[in-house]
């Protein structure tokens, strides 16, 4: 398992956090349904910056309930474990783009992090990369009288996510699924 790396940029100073807590979960996973209106613009701005650095944007959240507000961007290095150097490079490059775009009017804190092992699976590439890993699947409404499913990820196709539960393959319709996340306690 890799540790979650976080680099925080306060307009004038750097603070670096390297979490050793395996069970720590990124906050954006729990509040992704409450997206700040600027997040789509920020992701649109950050994506080409990340691509230029050989990185991928995984997610973003803007915590405006904190003073100063905190913009957290999660990135991934598709070629190796995402490290502090990746976070630092992205933070420096993104700060320049954000300041030039002037989409955040006031002072804010920029955090660039790796999502760590406890992360939500979204893209086809992630479902392929984490085949065989333990995952938790949440459904709404309940599918077969159950809202939470655990098992080894077998695959995902256009209509179904397949889990192996102790040798039995369970097929969960994608239309019922609200979230698929790596199970940090079993992976």
Query: What stretch(es) of the chain map to CATH 3.30.300.70?
Result: 5-113
pLDDT along the chain (187 residues), means of 10: 45 32 34 64 94 91 85 88 89 94 89 74 82 91 92 94 95 93 72
How far is the CA of 118 from the CAs of 1, 60, 134, 145, 156, in angstroms? 9, 15, 11, 26, 19
Query: What stretch(es) of the chain map to CATH 2.30.30.100?
Result: 124-182
Q: At what angle do helices 39-52 and 84-101 cross, to 10 degrees?
A: 120
* pLDDT for the residue 114: 81
- Does the structural domain 124-182 have CATH classification 3.30.200.20? no
> Under CATH, to which class is 5-113 assigned?
alpha beta
């Amino acid at each position: 398992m890799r540790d979650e790396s976080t680099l925080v940029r306060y307009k004038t100073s750097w603070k670096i956090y390297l979490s050793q807590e395996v069970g720590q979960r990124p906050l954006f996973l729990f509040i992704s349904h409450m997206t700040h209106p600027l997040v789509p613009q920020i992701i649109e701005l950050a994506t080409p910056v990340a691509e230029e650095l050989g990185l991928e944007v995984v997610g973003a959240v803007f915590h405006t309930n904190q003073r100063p507000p905190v913009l957290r961007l999660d990135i991934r290095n598709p070629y190796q474990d995402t490290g502090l150097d990746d976070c630092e490079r992205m933070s420096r490059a993104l700060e320049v783009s954000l300041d030039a775009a002037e989409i955040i009017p006031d002072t804010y804190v920029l955090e660039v992090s790796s999502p760590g092992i406890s992360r939500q699976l979204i893209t086809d590439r992630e479902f392929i990369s984490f085949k065989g890993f333990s995952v938790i699947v949440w459904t709404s409404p309940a599918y077969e009288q159950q809202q939470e499913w655990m098992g080894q990820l077998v695959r995902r196709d256009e209509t179904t996510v397949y889990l192996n539960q102790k040798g039995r393959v369970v097929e969960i319709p994608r239309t019922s699924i609200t979230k698929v996340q790596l199970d940090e306690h079993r992976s």
